[in-house]
Structures are given as structure tokens and as C-alpha cells.
Chains A and B, each alone.
Chain A
Amino acid sequence: MSTILEERKDQIHLSGEGAIDMACNRESLAGAVSQRACVFCGSRVVLYPIADALHLVHGPIGCAVYTWDIRGALSSGPELHRLSFSTDLQETDVIFGGEKKLEAALDELIDRHSPKAAFVYSTCIVGIIGDDLEAVCRKMSEKKGIPVLPVQSEGFKGSKREGYLAACKAMFKLIGNGDVSDISPLSINIFGDFNLAGEIWIIREYFEKMGVQVVANVTGDGRVADIQRCHGAALNLVQCSGATLDLAKMMEEEFGIPYERVSYLGIEDMADSLYKVADFFKDKDPGILERTQKLVKEELQVLMPELARYRKDLEGKKVAMYVGGSFKAFSLVKAFRHLGMKVVLVGSQTGTREDYAELEQITDPGTVIIDDANPLELSHFIKEKDVDVFVGGVKERPIAFKLGVGFCDHNHERKEALEGFVGMLNFAREIHASAMSPVWQFVPRRAGRMTEEKKEAVNE
């Protein structure tokens, strides 16, 4: 099929058709119009929600502008993260080096905003002109008395995934510096949640009801001081495919803190995650299991009847998803099952071989599994599979809409809380609104078919 380039064929698989052997984790193909971003993007995504830190992008203006407050990461206090700071490198800086300008910018911004720490992101060009970010940061740390941390996130040095690692390395330098004396033995850190639309507040409330102390949010609604003492927690919970997994591994090695992988999306995964934590702490506090069961039961009693109402309309509809990290896709596949919907395509920007193998396990035969897709491939499969709802990020939205397909934003920019039990309800409501709108009747690709269906219904 001409839509798929020869070199991309081994990045696409059909569930149930032979052993899965996905090529992934490779550089995007030139000219393929990948939906992926870059290393800088990966770092920015992870660190951005730390609300009392200064986030300075060292480079020409674009990188800072395109990431200015585009995420839905909310803060309960300071909002320094929502401003866009840049050294706005000019031609002369590129010729003579940007270190002086970086130093002056840090000097100025730290005085102006008194942040608790500063992250300095390197961009493509900084890698090329060879500014010594480490040295400038070290110098400014000493001068200003706050941690000033270089984030080695030159865009061309890999994909988003390498950006996650750069972010984790930067954060790891903070950890171990705070007072941990008042931390409860029943304590956790929440890793890999970015508090989109306030989701972390929902999750924290669950843990508080269970009697578990949350030490640090890493990084949604994040604070530098919390991260500095997060080595005092008993357990790390890691959500998401890999954004903060490296940090959890570093902490396990350095501080002996174990981690569990969790997901707060969908009913089972939310409940499983809470039970995992209860199970972990049950020796220290036997009552925790019962409290957790009670919490889950109460939430489900509210949720299930409401869900049933949406399910009636959505039963049998087909859904496709293209997400950043594939871990989210696992939860979504299950969540859609609760709505009676059939997943026919799952794709991810940065999935690993293991992720795709697991997707093949949990999806129905015939489901398309795809790595690092692009608009033409996505639109091809949406049509071929006759999808009703597409789940993705802002870049995917117009692809769905042009094909007359409902769309749900399930990415960093979402403004609707989709995590937790209440999030499942919001999710169902949004999917319902996406699939059931009368506007699809007018879309040329579907209008003819709807008329046909009506005729058939009358004839029957």
C-alpha cells in the first residue's frame, strides 16, 4: 500500500497475525512527517510542571515559544512554570557563544522571581556552538544559592525518550538534600503524573483517605523542596511509559526505595494501583486493605450506574488511539472495554518492544499496532477500520475531524481531568459527546452512508 513507506513496514503489526516483532525506538524517518517531537520536548514535558522552579530555555526563541504554557499542568500555588523564559539567542550569540548571555539572563531572572531552583534547557544550537552549560549553572548555583541545573536536551540527540532521561538526571541532583524526619512510614512519591486539569489532586485524595502520605508529586503541581526530600518516602509509584522510570531506578539504586508501576486511568487500573499500595503497606498498617476496599467500593457505586447510561449509546462503536507513551494505551484499551467499545488501532510515538508485545496480548485480533506513525498512515487506518472515535493529541485532532470522526484529546494539553474514578466518568462523557454528536451526519464521508442506513432500517 502506497501510504506506508517500505522502510516503515516493520513498525506496523496486526494483532493475531503471527509473532510480533516490532521495530521501534529508532530515529524517525526523514520526510515521513512523524508525529514525534524531540529530546528537548521530552525534558520539557517532564520538568515543566515544577511550579516554583524557573525554566529557562537556552536557544533561539522558537523552542521556548512553542512550549509556552501549552500543557494543562495546574499548580495549587506558584505558577512560575506557566511563563516562557528564553535567552532568545541572536546571530552574534551564535558566533561568539551564548554563555555570557545565559549567565546574565539567569542573574536577572533569579533576582526577579526568586525561584527555588532553575532548570536550564539546552536546545539543538547550544549543542552545536558548545556552550558550557554545566559551568554556567555551577557558577550561578554558587552565586545565587539555589540549585541551577543543566538539562542536556539538545533536540537532535535522540527522541523524546532521551529527553525523559535528561530530565530525570537533572531532578536526581535535587534529591537527597531535604529533611525527611517528619515523613510517615506509610509514604509514597507520585511519579509520572503531570496534574493535567488537576488530576493529581484527585489521586492524592485517594491516598490520603487510605492513610498514605504523599511526599512529592513528580512533577505535577511539583515543588522543589518536596523533590529534595522525596528520598524519605517508602515507595515510588511510577505512572506513564517511561518519563520518570529512570528516576525511580536511580532512587532504588541510591536510596533503596522500591517502585511500583501504576496507572490512574480506567477502573481496573485505578483500583489495582490503589490495591498495590495497600498491599505494600499492609504489614505496617493492616487496616489499610479495608480502607482501600471501602474507598473503591464507594467510588464504584457512584460511577457504575452513570457509566451504564453512556455505554448504552457507545456499545459496539470502534475506536483508535495514538498516544505518546504506550503505557497509557494499556489503560485506555481496558477503559474502552467498559464502554462496550472495540479498539481497532493502537499506536504510540515511543513504545518499546515489550510495550508492543503487551498491546498485542490485550487487543482483539486484527487490531493495528503502530510505532511512530504519521498523518497519512493514521488517516489510512482510520478509514480502513471505519473508526468512530479517535484518541490522540492536538496534532491528531484535525486528522480525525477531516475524516468525520469524533476525537478525544488525551494528551498533555487536555483540560479535562480523566484520571481516577471521577476521571473515568469524565472520559465516558467526553467520548459520548465525541461519538454521538449529530454533526457527523453532515460530514460528506459519512452522510451518504447514514442515508443508506436509514433506508435499510425503513425497509426492514
Chain B
Amino acid sequence: MSKVKTPKPNFVSTTNACKLCTPLGASMAFRGVEGAIPFLHGSQGCATYMRRYIISHFREPVDIASSALGEKNAIYGGGPNLKKGILNVMKKYEPQVIGVATTCLTETIGDDVPMNLKEFRDEFGDLDLPELVEVSTPSYSGTHTDGWHGAVRSLVEQLCTAKVPETGRVSILPNMVSCEDVRHLFDICRDFGIPATILPDISETLDGPALEDYVKIPSGGTPVSEIREMSGAKATIEFGRCLPKQTGGTSLEKRFGVTNHRIGLPMGLRESDALFETLESVSGNPVPRRFELERGRLIDAYVDGHKYVFGKRAVVYGEEDLVVGLCAFLAEIGVDVVLAGTGARGKGLEAAISRVTDGVARMAPEVREAVDFHDIAAEAESLKPDLLIGHSKGYRYAEAWGVPLVRVGFPVHDRFGGQRILTLGYKGALNLFDRVVNAVIEKKQADSSVGYGYI
């Protein structure tokens, strides 16, 4: 495979980051647990900023508590505020779970959160305490995806502590996907006859219905009882080819012998096939006809639309596993990914892309870890992309280059319905394909002096 060669930029400063901080990912993951409220141990601004950021995408109330540390706490330690904050959250929200994530402030002043929580349990053991799950998320280390995976692992390790008898369930750790994706995964499992535990399950908690009253904590989310019983599941399936070595899935395998199937994000035909094959083997049931049809429709669409997109050059960016999934999909439809970028570093992105595009990609993309949009722009100008695929933050660049932006992932701040973008499975691939083809057609139409009514 040929490879585009461009000099790698090496800037000290970051301009328009292509990543978010670790506690944000943890907060989002905690939001996918039933009865849970995320709690950031740090100054008030962190919680407020992240709430605002998440709200813009999901358009749902997102309550994140904070220990609201002031100067004194920063000097003498934040433990007392953490405890007081937990008590207040208990009083007001009556949560089943409080997910405590640290911030750069509390990590640096050296607050020992596990110890604080232990003290809290000892001190207030007479109260009806919620589950307290903690995760260390220093924001100067890693990105929001690390925060997400860390929180998932903490949930599994701190709530699922004993081996239970076989439940017949399958656990899915789906990675950072949309609410619609999670709903689709439930559908798939149901049709396979598999009772599934999806952790986290943001399908309701971050995309809730209109209700009679304002609820303190939205319904839905992975039930704590199901998390506890993940030790008795038939198998764990976790999505991601750039996951940390230690995850919720590996932890369950190591501690309780639950087989962990690590597959990629099921995006595009082949990566979705991998999911359906895994489900077949885990359940012992054949792929339901519905999905055979979906698969057939996807290939039919690939054929119908191939000429619109063949040889188009795409720049792809975002969370590492989303980028891998998009590369897998784009390679299948003949789109050349010229640059694949992620804000994360050390995730094995290049190897993962090479693996999922093997045999179909016409070229290997420039792969960039730890990039910001300035880096992407510095390279992409010479790469002359026809389209950008990623979250909203690439909008400025797409506009400057006069190419379409196909919005996928998080955050989608400048379009409506980001939480309902489906990317997983054959159906998700079809949705993506329609959107990519139509983006190309729209561009052609917009640029045309003739104004084709049939394309």
C-alpha cells in the first residue's frame, strides 16, 4: 500500500484541541448507570463547564455535582468538602450510585479519594449509603476516552466483587457510542435471544422522553444489580481496538474467568460481521433474518452508491476507536482516508487502522496521535481532502476548505440530534453511507452551475 508522506508538525502549544479532558469522559460514563449521579472532586468550574458541554450535545439536563473546592481546601485538602458534598447529593438526589471522578486539582494536591470514601463509609455507615464508585482522572494525563474507560473499569471492579452463578446474560462494554447506538445494540441482542447488560447504557439517561414531572435522576441506565452479576455472564464483549490493556472486560476475565471478546467498534460491513459472528458463537443462535436483510441492504446500497464516493479523499478525526471504525467503513466503500487523527496518544491507532482496512484500503492514511486541529490543518491542506468526517469541532476547517463535514461522534454542537446518530451494525453503516454519499452529492449540486435534478 502506498503512503502519503508529509512532514510531521511538532508544535509545543495546542490550538483547537481534538480531545477533551479525562473527568468529562468519566462523567458521561457514570451517567449511564441506573440511579447514578456523577460527582467531580475539584473546583466548581469543572463540573459546570462539563455540564454545559454535554448539555449542548444531548440537550438533556445533566447534573454533575462538585465538591466545589475553594482556596482553603486546595491548601488543606479537599476531603471534608468531598464528604459534605456526598451528603448533600444524597439528601437532594437520593442516588443509588455516586460516581466520584478526580480532577487535575485534587490529583495534584494529593487527595486520597479511596481513603476519603472509606472514612466516609465508616463515619456514616448508619445511613442508607449509595454505592460510591471512584475513578482517578487527572486531566493532565490522557483524554476523555481514558476517563470513560477508567470509569467503566472502576464500575466493574468496585461493584462486581463476587462470583455469582451463571446468569445467561452477555455483557457489552460498547465504548463511547451514541444513545441510538446503544438502543440498536439492545435490539440486536433481543433478536438474538440474548439478555444483555450494556455498560454504560446512556440510551435513556442522555436521551430521555418528555415526562409529567422533572426527575432528579433520569430513568434508565445499567442497573447496579446487573453490574454486580457481570461475574456470572456468559461472556463480555467489549468494543475497541485501541482500548487500554486493563479494562472492565479484562478484569472480569482475570477475576472471574468470564471470556472477554475484544472486537472493534462494529462500523461498516466487516467489523459488523465480527459482532454478529461473536453474538452467534456466544448465543449459539444463528443471525436473525432481520439482520441478514440489513446486511443485504447495506451491500446493495454500497453497490448503488459506489461511484459517488470512490476515490474521494477523507480526513477523519476524533476518539481513537471511532477513527478506527470510520476507517474500516470508508475503506470498504472506496474512500481514501488521507489523514486519521486523534487527540489521544500511545493507543496503537496506526496498527489498528491497518488491521481493519487490510485487503480493502487502497492506501494507508497518515496517522496522527496527539493532534489538535492546527496540526490536522497543517497537513490536510496539502492532502486536499474532499470531505471531513468527525465531530462538530472540525466545522471551521471544513468551511475554510469548502468541503463537507459529515458529523459523527461527540460533540455535535452545531447540528440537531447528535445523540441519535446511528453508526453501529449494518444499519449504522447504512446510515453512515447515506450521509456520506449525500454529502458528496450535495457538494456537487451546490458547486454546479447547471443544477442537476437527477444525480
Tell me if B17 and A30 are in contact (CB < 8 A). no
Whether a CB of chain B sits under 8 angstroms from the CB of A60 is: yes
Of the candidate stretches B87-95, B125-133, B322-330, the one touching chain A is: B87-95
Contact A395 to B13, CB < 8 A, known contacts A30-B67, A30-B85, A128-B108: no
Q: Which of B66, B141, B211, B213 has the most CB of A within 10 A?
A: B66
Contact A445 to B14, CB < 8 A, known contacts A61-B21, A394-B52, A394-B55: no
Binary per-residue interface labels of chain A (377-408) against chain B in the complex, 1 for a CB within 8 Å, 0 otherwise: 00100010000000001110111011110000
Give chain A nearest CB distance to B403 CB in angstroms.
20
Partner of A32, one of B21, B46, B88, B393: B88
Tell me if B44 and A65 are in contact (CB < 8 A). no
Whether a CB of chain A sits under 8 angstroms from the CB of B399 is: no
Tell me if A125 and B82 are in contact (CB < 8 A). no
Give chain B nearest CB distance to A92 CB in angstroms.
9
Whether a CB of chain B sits under 8 angstroms from the CB of A131 is: no
How far, in whole Å, are A443 and B91 apart by their CA atoms in the complex?
29
Tell me if A398 and B62 are in contact (CB < 8 A). yes
List chain B residues, Cβ under 8 A from A60: 21, 104, 138-140
Contact A30 to B82, CB < 8 A, known contacts A60-B21, A85-B14, A399-B61: yes
In the complex, the chain A residue whose C-beta lies closest to that of B21 is: A62
Of the candidate stretches B69-77, B262-270, B444-452, the one touching chain A is: B69-77
Partner of A66, one of B50, B73, B74, B214: B50
Tell me if B105 and A28 are in contact (CB < 8 A). no
Partner of A397, one of B17, B55, B70, B85: B55
List chain A residues, Cβ under 8 A from B212: 444-445
Tell me if A86 and B17 are in contact (CB < 8 A). yes
Tell me if B86 and A155 are in contact (CB < 8 A). no
Q: Which of B69-120 contact A (CB under 8 A)?
A: 69-71, 73-74, 81-82, 84-89, 91-93, 103-105, 108-109
Tell me if B15 and A85 are in contact (CB < 8 A). yes
Whether a CB of chain B sits under 8 angstroms from the CB of A375 is: yes
Contact A127 to B140, CB < 8 A, known contacts A28-B44, A33-B47: no
How far, in whole Å, are A65 and B22 apart by their CA atoms in the complex?
12
Whether a CB of chain A sits under 8 angstroms from the CB of B422 is: no
Interface size on B, residues (CB 8 A): 74
Tell me if A30 and B84 are in contact (CB < 8 A). yes
Contact A398 to B55, CB < 8 A, known contacts A89-B140, A129-B108: yes
How far, in whole Å, are A31 and B132 apart by their CA atoms in the complex?
14
Of the candidate stretches A38-46, A164-172, A200-208, A291-299, the one touching chain B is: A38-46
In the complex, the chain B residue whose C-beta lies closest to that of A127 is: B74
Whether a CB of chain A sits under 8 angstroms from the CB of B355 is: no
List chain B residues, Cβ under 8 A from A397: 55, 59
Tell me if B141 and A398 are in contact (CB < 8 A). no
Partner of B68, one of A34, A62, A129, A443: A34
Tell me if A124 and B43 are in contact (CB < 8 A). yes
Contact A402 to B71, CB < 8 A, known contacts A33-B47, A33-B63, A394-B55: no
Whether a CB of chain B sits under 8 angstroms from the CB of A59 is: yes
Whether a CB of chain A sits under 8 angstroms from the CB of B173 is: no
Partner of B49, one of A66, A91, A393, A402: A66
Tell me if B105 and A128 are in contact (CB < 8 A). yes
Contact A90 to B141, CB < 8 A, known contacts A33-B64, A445-B213: yes
Tell me if A125 and B108 are in contact (CB < 8 A). yes
How far, in whole Å, are A156 and B105 apart by their CA atoms in the complex?
9
Whether a CB of chain A sits under 8 angstroms from the CB of B39 is: yes
Tell me if B15 and A83 are in contact (CB < 8 A). yes
Give chain A nearest CB distance to B184 CB in angstroms.
24
Of the candidate stretches A104-112, A181-189, A235-243, the one touching chain B is: A104-112
Whether a CB of chain B sits under 8 angstroms from the CB of A213 is: no
Tell me if B61 and A402 are in contact (CB < 8 A). yes
How far, in whole Å, are A159 and B68 apart by their CA atoms in the complex?
10
Tell me if A31 and B70 are in contact (CB < 8 A). no
Contact A31 to B49, CB < 8 A, known contacts A156-B105, A398-B62: no
List chain A residues, Cβ under 8 A from B53: 65-66
Whether a CB of chain A sits under 8 angstroms from the CB of B24 is: yes
Partner of B140, one of A27, A65, A90, A395: A90
Q: Which of A1-29 contact B (CB under 8 A)?
A: 2-3, 5, 27-29
Whether a CB of chain B sits under 8 angstroms from the CB of A67 is: yes
How far, in whole Å, are A93 and B15 apart by their CA atoms in the complex?
18
Contact A404 to B210, CB < 8 A, known contacts A5-B92, A83-B15: yes
List chain B residues, Cβ under 8 A from A53: none
Partner of A64, one of B14, B59, B67, B92: B14
Partner of A61, one of B52, B60, B139: B139
How far, in whole Å, are A28 and B68 apart by their CA atoms in the complex?
6
Contact A31 to B13, CB < 8 A, known contacts A60-B104, A395-B48: no
How far, in whole Å, are A151 and B23 apart by their CA atoms in the complex?
25
Tell me if B44 and A37 are in contact (CB < 8 A). yes
Partner of A94, one of B44, B59, B61, B108: B108
List chain A residues, Cβ under 8 A from B143: 61
Whether a CB of chain A sits under 8 angstroms from the CB of B11 is: yes
List chain A residues, Cβ under 8 A from B139: 60-62
How far, in whole Å, are A65 and B183 apart by their CA atoms in the complex?
29
In the complex, the chain A residue whose C-beta lies closest to that of B62 is: A398
Whether a CB of chain A sits under 8 angstroms from the CB of B45 is: yes
Give chain B nearest CB distance to A190 CB in angstroms.
27
Give chain A nearest CB distance to B197 CB in angstroms.
27
Whether a CB of chain A sits under 8 angstroms from the CB of B216 is: yes
List chain B residues, Cβ under 8 A from A91: 138, 140-141
Binary per-residue interface labels of chain A (41-58) against chain B in the complex, 1 for a CB within 8 Å, 0 otherwise: 100000000000000100
List chain B residues, Cβ under 8 A from A39: 45
Give chain B nearest CB distance to A399 CB in angstroms.
6
Binary per-residue interface labels of chain A (398-441) against chain B in the complex, 1 for a CB within 8 Å, 0 otherwise: 11011110000000000000000000000000000000000000
Q: Which of B7-39 contact A (CB under 8 A)?
A: 11-17, 19-21, 23-24, 39
In the complex, the chain A residue whose C-beta lies closest to that of B56 is: A394
Tell me if B49 and A67 are in contact (CB < 8 A). yes
How far, in whole Å, are A40 and B39 apart by their CA atoms in the complex?
20
Binary per-residue interface labels of chain A (188-224) against chain B in the complex, 1 for a CB within 8 Å, 0 otherwise: 0000000000000000000000000000000000000
Tell me if A31 and B84 are in contact (CB < 8 A). yes
Give chain A nearest CB distance to B429 CB in angstroms.
30
Tell me if B46 and A62 are in contact (CB < 8 A). yes
**Known pairs A84-B14, A402-B61 / 13 extra A-B pairs, C-beta < 8 Å:** A2-B91, A30-B81, A31-B66, A32-B85, A61-B143, A68-B16, A87-B13, A91-B141, A108-B12, A124-B43, A124-B103, A156-B70, A402-B60
Selected A-B contacts with CB under 8 Å, 29 pairs: A3-B92, A30-B66, A30-B82, A31-B88, A37-B49, A59-B104, A61-B17, A63-B49, A64-B17, A65-B20, A65-B21, A66-B52, A66-B53, A68-B17, A83-B16, A84-B14, A86-B13, A94-B104, A94-B138, A94-B140, A127-B74, A129-B108, A155-B46, A394-B52, A401-B59, A403-B214, A443-B210, A444-B210, A445-B212
Q: What is B's interface to A at a CB cutoff of 8 Å?
A: 11-17, 19-21, 23-24, 39, 42-53, 55-56, 59-71, 73-74, 81-82, 84-89, 91-93, 103-105, 108-109, 138-141, 143, 208, 210-216, 343, 372, 393
Q: What is A's interface to B at a CB cutoff of 8 Å?
A: 2-3, 5, 27-41, 56, 59-68, 70, 83-91, 93-94, 101, 104-105, 107-109, 123-125, 127-129, 155-159, 375-376, 379, 383, 393-395, 397-399, 401-404, 442-445
